[in-house]
Chains A and B, each alone.
Chain A
Amino acid sequence: MSFFLASLSFWDLLLWCVALAITLGVGILIVLFLSLTISQNIIPPKRRSRGSPTHLLVVLGSGGHTAEMLYMLEHMNFDPQIYTYRTYLVSSGDNFSADKAKDFEAQYGQNSQGYAHNNNYTIVTVPRARRVHQSYLTAPFSTLQCFWACLNVLCGRHPDQKLPKEYSSFYPDLILANGPATAVCVVAGAKLIRFFLCLAKCVALCLGLRTLSSFTSAPKLRAIYIESWARVSSLSTSGVLLLPLADRFLVQWPAQAGRRAWWGMKRTEYAGWLVI
């Protein structure tokens, strides 16, 4: 063995390293593509009983995105008895969105019986993914910072989160997003967590540590992305990035319907105008 290593020249070693790196890279890409394709095509079994507590995460992007999102929630006849707990995710410094979320909760979030819950929603703040006019050189770092904060929120580890005890899991059940960059971070984070949860379950199953019953809990961290009404014929950057990531992709113009990330992936659905 020592003889074999010694006979390798520097260039041979470099060649082997490059070959190894390429194999590893291609391997990761294949796993990524496969897992995204599988994840989007699996229809989750119906396991949630009506009236059980559900946790909704709403991403409030900024000005126009926030206004559209809250308008849509208002006009879907939002029922706080179905979506019993809400987390609103806003970017730091975006007081407009935080205020709008409070207004929305005051108006629609409380029970019809008239008594107000103080603990059925929270507003959490994460660092901005990219400020307007921020250089593309530093943007990756702030995006990473935002991504990390979003992961924490998704795991219920943000200091402002105090989910009541009747919720069996810290993960939100459903995520609603309509852009921009923060939405991408949240949905990508949700997919990453789901990937590791699935991996952990498979390993546990193989080792015989757990039975199949751990697979039968209600689905979590499902994401719906709604493309902006302003996008008539081309997807926004967030839309393009979330095409393979969102579990459901709603568009508001017929020309946007039927798009998909690649062969075998789910297509975008035409929902009509949701903002009118």
Chain B
Amino acid sequence: MKLCFVTVGATASFLKLLEQILSSQFLETLSKRGYTHLLIQYGKDGQQVFQNFIDSDQPHHGLTLGGFDFQPSIDAQMMMTVEREALNQERGLIICHAGTGTVLAGLRLGVPLIVVPNPDLADNHQQELADELEAGNYVISSSVNDVGNAISRAETQKAEVLSMRPGNTTLAESMSDELSFLD
């Protein structure tokens, strides 16, 4: 299995991204790059769009599709994009909105990550975060329309770098300092 997991966020709706993901062009790109499964967390307003797609006779390009609106934790779904031979899992891909929790979870797993900031949100520091992360080579930041072209760039990125990070002791030292221990 080679999974592409897409999450548009549970609270704000992001229909533009959902429509782009379900476009024939995007599905074809996924299929060409060897993906077998596409799982989508479509959020609170996405149910209708997703259901319409399933009910229609648009081509799936050989992909197995799944979708859900919300779950308390999507850690299990994200784990399915990690390479694990025992489970016959290939390294997959995560496409997500620029929500901090999701981006962090993706970075911790070290899988290819495409971050798509939601242009409808007034929160412009999400765009800033996405730009900065791309500048640091941690993720690929993409606009909604360009997400298909971002796949190849995300796959070739050195995602392993993050899991190799040494432990950060700054917080422990700061806390110890503030407590003013004798030694």
> Interface on A for B, CB 8 Å cutoff?
44-50, 54, 56, 63-64, 67-68, 71-72, 75-77, 82-83, 173-174, 176, 218-219, 222, 224, 226, 228-234, 247-248, 250, 253, 269, 271-276
B171 within 8 A of A: yes
A24 CB, min distance to chain B CBs, angstroms = 35
* Given the contacts A76-B169, A226-B171, A275 and B182 also touching, CB distance less than 8 Å: no
How far is A71 from B108 in the complex, measured between Cα atoms in Å?
11
Report Cα–Cα, A189/B108, bound state, in Å: 36
Residues from chain A with Cβ under 8 Å of B175 in the complex = 56, 76, 83, 174, 176, 224
The 5 closest A-B pairs by CB, nearest first: A271-B170, A76-B172, A230-B100, A222-B178, A232-B132
| Contact call B165/A174, Cβ cutoff below 8 A | no
The count of residues in chain B whose C-beta lies closer than 8 Å to any C-beta of chain A is 28
| CB of B129 to closest CB in A, whole Å | 5
Some 10 contacts from A to B, beta carbons below 8 A apart, are A44-B180, A49-B181, A218-B179, A219-B179, A219-B180, A224-B178, A231-B125, A271-B171, A271-B174, A276-B168
> With an 8 A cutoff between CB atoms, is B41 at the interface?
no
CA distance A47 to B107 in the complex (A): 41
B182 touches A271 (CB 8 A): no
* Contact residues in B for A50 (Cβ distance below 8 Å): 181-183
Question: Are B128 and A276 in contact, CB atoms less than 8 angstroms apart?
Answer: no
Q: A236: nearest residue on chain B (CB-CB)?
A: B125
Q: What's the Cα separation between A222 and B174 when bound, in Å? A: 11
Interchain CA distance A272-B173 in the complex, whole Å: 13
Write the nearest CB–CB distance from A101 to chain B, whole angstroms.
16
- Closest Cβ neighbor of B171 among chain A residues: A76
> Nearest residue in A to B135 (C-beta to C-beta)?
A232
CB contacts (< 8 Å) of B132 on chain A: these are 232-233, 253
Interface membership of B126, Cβ < 8 A: yes
Write the nearest CB–CB distance from A44 to chain B, whole angstroms: 5
Whether B179 and A250, one on each chain, are in contact in the complex, defined by CB atoms closer than 8 angstroms, is no
* A234 to B182 CA separation, bound complex (whole angstroms): 36
B125 touches A48 (CB 8 A): no
